[in-house]
Structure 1
Amino acid sequence: MPRIMTDFLDDAVKTHPNKAAFTEEARSLTYKELQEEAYRIAMPIIKSGFRKKPVALYFDKSIYCISSMMAVAYSGNFYSVIDTEMPVERINKIFEVLEPELVLTDRKHFENAKEFFCEDRIIVTEELNDSEIFEETIEESKAKILETDVLYVLFTSGSTGVPKGVVTPHKAITSYIVALVSDYKMDDTYVLGVQVPFYYVMTALDIYGTIAAKAHAYLIPKSKFLFPAYLVQYLYENKINLLSWVPSALCMIANTNAFSVADLSAIRLIVFGGEVMPIKQLKAWQQAVPDAVYINAYGSTEITDGCTYYIVDREFKDEDILPIGIPYSNCDVLVIDEHGNPITEGVGELVVRGNSVGYGYYKDPEKTAEVFIQNPLNSCYPETVYKMGDLVRFNEYGELEYYGRKDFQIKYMGRRIELGEIEANVSSIDGVDENCCVFDSAKKRIVLFYSGAIDDKTLLKTLRSKLPDYMQPRKINHLVEMPHNQNGKINRKLLATQIS
C-alpha cells in the first residue's frame, strides 16, 4: 500500500505519464505534467525551510488547486483549502486557528488574498510556471515524510461560531483511497465528472481516487449546474462515466427531466453522499441510466469522508430511506446506546474505528475529547474511535440504516421524532422536488420547507395518509427554489432563520 499520498501520483507517472489526469475549461494536464507543476510549486515552499506547518490554498475548483495540494504534500507540510466565496470575516476566524505559514493562490484571487494575508507570504502559482525543478530537493523532502504526518486540515462549521479544523494524516487518506478504489472496482477506464468544491471532503474520491486509479477527471464548471440541459450535454460530450455528487445535484437533473437532452448510457457508476438521496429521484435516474451501479456512500470529514456504503440492489418504495450499508474494507463500525453500551438491535449512535479516523480538531482538545473517544469495547490499550452523532440501526439484511442526526431528533408531543423520516415521506410525494424540516423551538412546531409544483393543500392531504398526527408539520413554506450551501446541500441553517 502507498505510504504517503504523493506515492499515488508517483506511481501514476511511472505507469501512465502521458495520460490526461485532470481537465478544466482552460487546460488539461497529464499525470507527468501534474507532477511537474506540483514540483515547481513545492520548490519555494521547501526553500522556506519550514516543515509540518499549515499552508492555505485559496483557489476555485481548479487544476492549480490540485497541483498545490500535491506540492504542499511533497514539501512535508499540510494544506487547508479555503473557499474563495467565503466572507473575509470567516477566513480571518479560520486563520486565527490555523496560523498558516503561506497562502498559495492564482492571479485571479491574488488581490482578494491580500485582504486577509501578508502579500510577501502569498505565492501565485502561475508565476512559477517556468521556474527550475531540483528533483533531488523534492526526493530529500519526501523521504522525511511519515505516514503519520498530517496531510490536510479541512474546516467545518462549529457550534460556537468558530470553524472546526479536522486533522487528517497521510495514513488515513491512503488507507481510505485504497479501500475505495478496491470496493468500487475503479480502474483507468473511468472518466469522472467533478461536482463538489475542493474544500469539501467528498473530493477525496474525485482527486485522490482519480489519481490512485489512473483515471481521468473533468472539473465541471459551476455554471453548468445552473442549466441541467447543458450539464447533461456536457456529461455526454466528455464521455463521463463516473459521478460522485451530492443528491441535490442529481435531483436537479431528475426534477427537470433533463435526461432527454442526451444519452447518458455511458455512465457506469453513480455515487451519492453528504445528504439523504430521495427514492423518487433515484428511480428517475435508474430509469434513465439502468445499467449504472448506484452507491449510497456515507461518512464525514472526521473519518476521511466515508465509512460505509450501500450498492443499490433491490427495489424501494418512494417513502423508504436507503440503507447506508456496510463498512468499507479499511474500517469497522459499532452502534452504541445512550449509555455508551454496544447494541445490535434498536436505534443507537454510530461509532467508527479504523485507520481512516482522523486525529481530531486542530488546536481544540476539548471538542476532540467529546467525539474522539476510547473504543468502548476495548479497555486493554488506547484505541481512538469517532462518535458520528448519527442515529442508525441494523436492518434485516445486516445493513445499517440512517435515522438522522442526534441533533435532528426532537421531542415533540411526548414523542421522539426523526425529522429525516418526515422528509423522506415528503420526498415520496409527486410534485415535490426538494424539502427540509426544521423545528421551531419557540413555538414548539415542525416547519416544512419545500419546492415543486404541488400546492400546500394537496401536500398536507397526502402527508396525512403517510404520517401520524404528531409528525405532521404545523407550518408549510412553499419556495420557488430551495437554498443550497457551497457544497450543494440544502442550507438547513439558513432555513432555520426564516421561520416566522
Structure 2
Amino acid sequence: MPRRMTDFLDEAVKTHPDKVAFTEEERSLTYKELQEEAYKIAMPIIKAGFRKKPVALYFDKSIYCISSMMAVAYSGNFYSVIDTEMPVERIDKIFDVLEPELVITDLKHFEKAKDFFCEEKIIVVEKLDASEISEKAIENSKAKVLETDVLYVLFTSGSTGIPKGVVTPHKAITNYVNSFVEAYKMDENCIIGVQIPFYYVMTALDIYGTIAVKAHAYLIPKSKFMFPAYLVQYLHDNKINLLSWVPSALCMIANTNAFSVADLSEIKTVIFGGEVMPIKQLKAWQKAVPGAKYINGYGSTEITDGCTYYIVDREFNDEDILPIGIPFSNSDVLVIDEEGNPITEGVGELVIRGDSVTYGYYKDPKKTAEVFIQNPLNNCYPETVYRMGDLVRFNKYGELEYYGRKDFQIKYMGRRIELGEIEANVSSIDGVAENCCVFDSVKKRIILFYSGSIDEKELLKVLKTKLPDYMQPRKVNYLSEMPHNQNGKIDRKFLASQI
C-alpha cells in the first residue's frame, strides 16, 4: 500500500512506464517521462541541502507544475502552488507566512517571478539538465520521507486578510486518494478532463487520482471554458470519460445548451463539488448524458478535499436539496449542536474525523486551535477532529444534507434562515442561470443577485409561491454575468462588497 504520494508514481512507472499520464496543448508525458522530469527538477533542491522546507511553485495549470510537485516530494520538502494571476501584493502576504526556500517556475513566468523573489533562488525548469540526475541521491532522499511528513501547504482566503496555509501530510492525501478511487470505481481506463486550477484542493483527484490508477488526464486549456461549444467538442474529440468540476463550469454548458455540439456519451462519471450543484442544471446533464454516473462530492481544504459523497440514485425536484451523502471509507462524521453536543436529528455543525484531517494552519496555532479540536465524544486520549463550519442534518435515508455555512446563517425577522435554502429555490426557477444571496447587516435585508433571462418582477412573483414572506429577498440585482473567483465559484465576497 503506497504511504507517500511518490510511491504512487514509482508504482505507475513499474507497471505502465510508456502509458501517457498527462496531456496539455504543448506536449504529453508518459509515466516514465514524468518521473524523469521530476528527478531532473528534484536534483537542485536536493543539492541545496535542505529538508522539510517550503518550496513555491509558480506555474499555470501545466505538466511542469505536476512534475515539480513530485520533484519537491522526492526531495523531502513540501510545496505551495501560487496562482500566476494573483497580484504581487497577495503573493507577498503568502510569502511572509510561508518563507519559501526556493521558487520553481518556467521561462514564461521567470521575469514575473523576479518581482517577488530573489533571482538566485529561482529554479527555471527548462534550464535544467537531465545529465545531472543521480538516482542514488534521489533514492537516499526518498528513503527519509515519512508518511507523516508534509506534502503541501495550500493557501486559502483568511477573514483577517492574511491567507491561511493548510498543512497537508502525505498520509492525508494517500488516505483520501485510496478512498475516492474505491468509492468512484476509478481505474486505468479513466480519461480525465481537468478543469480545476492546481492551487485549488479539488485537483487531488485530477493529479493524484490519475497517477494512483495509472489513468490519462487532459489539462483542458482555460480558453476552452470561455466558449462552451468548443469545450464540448474538446471533450468529445479526446474521448474524455470522467469530469471532476466545480458546478459553475457544468452549469455553463447546461445553461447554453452546448450539448448539441457533439456526442458526450463517452462520459461515464461526472463529479461536482466546491459549491452547491443546482438541481435544474443537474437534470439537464442527466438528460443530455443519461449513461453517466453523477456524484456530489463534499469537503474542504482542511480535510484534504473530500469527506463525504453522494452518488445520485433518485429523482429530485428543482427546489430540493441534493444530499452530500455518506463518509468515505476511513472517515467519520459527527453533527454537533451550538453547545458542542452530538445530535442525530435537526440541523447542526459538521465535524470530521479520520486520516484525511490535515495538520492545521501554517504558523497559526491560534487559528488552528479554533477549528482543529479534541473529539467531543472522546475525553480519554488526544484525537483531533475538524469543525467544518457547515450546517448539515441527516435525512430519512441516513444521508447528510448541506444547509449552508454557519456564517451564511442569518437571524432575520426573529427566525434563523439559511441563505442556501433561498438560493436553491431561486435556482429552480426557469430563466435563472446562476444566483447568490447576501445579507445586508446594516439595512437588515436579504439581497439576491442573479443572471439569466427572467426579469426581476417575474422572478419575485414565482419566488413568492416557493418561500414564506420572511425569506423573500428585499432587493434583487440582475447581472448579465455572475462574477466568479479563480476557483470558478461564485464570488460571494465581491457581491457582498457591492451592497
Q: TM-score per shorter chain, which class?
A: over 0.9
1:110-259 residue pairs with structure 2 within 5 A?
110-259=110-259
| Equivalent residue, structure 1, for 2:439 | 439
RMSD in angstroms over aligned alpha carbons? 0.5
Q: Tell me the distance in 1 between the aligned counterparts of 2:133 and 2:97.
A: 33
Amino acid at match of 2:19: K
Q: Tell me the distance in 2 between the aligned counterparts of 1:153 and 1:129.
A: 28
- SS of 1:250's equivalent in the other structure is helix
Q: Tell me the distance in 2 between the aligned counterparts of 1:128 and 1:182.
A: 38
- SS of 2:432's equivalent in the other structure is coil
Q: Tell me the distance in 2 between the aligned counterparts of 1:209 and 1:130.
A: 27
Q: Is residue 37–residue 129 contact of structure 1 (8 Å, CA) maintained in 2?
A: no
Q: Tell me the distance in 1 between the aligned counterparts of 2:257 and 2:441.
A: 37
Q: Tell me the distance in 1 between the aligned counterparts of 2:128 and 2:191.
A: 29
1:409-424 residue pairs with structure 2 within 5 A?
409-424=409-424
Amino acid at match of 2:317: K
The yes-or-no answer on 1:9 pairing with 2:12 is: no
| Equivalent residue, structure 1, for 2:270 | 270
Q: Tell me the distance in 1 between the aligned counterparts of 2:131 and 2:327.
A: 45
| Equivalent residue, structure 2, for 1:285 | 285
| Equivalent residue, structure 1, for 2:315 | 315
| Residues 87-108 of structure 1 deviation map (CA, whole Å, 9 limit, x = unaligned) | 0000000000000000000000
| Equivalent residue, structure 2, for 1:375 | 375
- Which sections of structure 2, spanning at least 5 residues, go unmatched? none
Q: Tell me the distance in 1 between the aligned counterparts of 2:220 and 2:496.
A: 31
Shift of 1:129: 4.8
| Equivalent residue, structure 1, for 2:353 | 353
Shift of 1:130: 3.8
Shift of 1:497: 1.0
Q: Tell me the distance in 2 between the aligned counterparts of 1:486 and 1:39.
A: 30
Shift of 1:498: 1.2
Amino acid at match of 1:295: I
Alignment identity in percent? 85
| Equivalent residue, structure 1, for 2:73 | 73
| Residues 372-416 of structure 1 deviation map (CA, whole Å, 9 limit, x = unaligned) | 000001111000000000000000000000000000000001100
| Equivalent residue, structure 1, for 2:60 | 60
Q: Tell me the distance in 2 between the aligned counterparts of 1:73 and 1:416.
A: 46
Q: Tell me the distance in 2 between the aligned counterparts of 1:198 and 1:128.
A: 23
Shift of 1:132: 2.4
| Residues 129-154 of structure 1 deviation map (CA, whole Å, 9 limit, x = unaligned) | 54421111100000000110000000
- SS of 2:153's equivalent in the other structure is strand
Shift of 1:179: 0.8
Q: Tell me the distance in 1 between the aligned counterparts of 2:67 and 2:216.
A: 15
Amino acid at match of 2:65: C
| Equivalent residue, structure 1, for 2:109 | 109
- SS of 1:204's equivalent in the other structure is helix
The yes-or-no answer on 1:452 pairing with 2:438 is: no
Q: Tell me the distance in 1 between the aligned counterparts of 2:330 and 2:442.
A: 44
Q: Tell me the distance in 2 between the aligned counterparts of 1:335 and 1:291.
A: 35
| Residues 220-251 of structure 1 deviation map (CA, whole Å, 9 limit, x = unaligned) | 00000000000000000000000000000000
List 4+ stretches of structure 1 deviating above 4 A: none
Amino acid at match of 2:101: E
Q: Tell me the distance in 2 between the aligned counterparts of 1:413 and 1:114.
A: 54
| Equivalent residue, structure 2, for 1:341 | 341
Amino acid at match of 1:493: K
Shift of 1:330: 2.0
- SS of 1:457's equivalent in the other structure is helix
Q: TM-score, normalised by structure 2?
A: 1.00
Q: TM-score, normalised by structure 1?
A: 0.99
Q: For this pair of structures, how many residues does the alignment match?
A: 499
Q: Tell me the distance in 2 between the aligned counterparts of 1:207 and 1:129.
A: 25
- Which sections of structure 1, spanning at least 5 residues, go unmatched? none
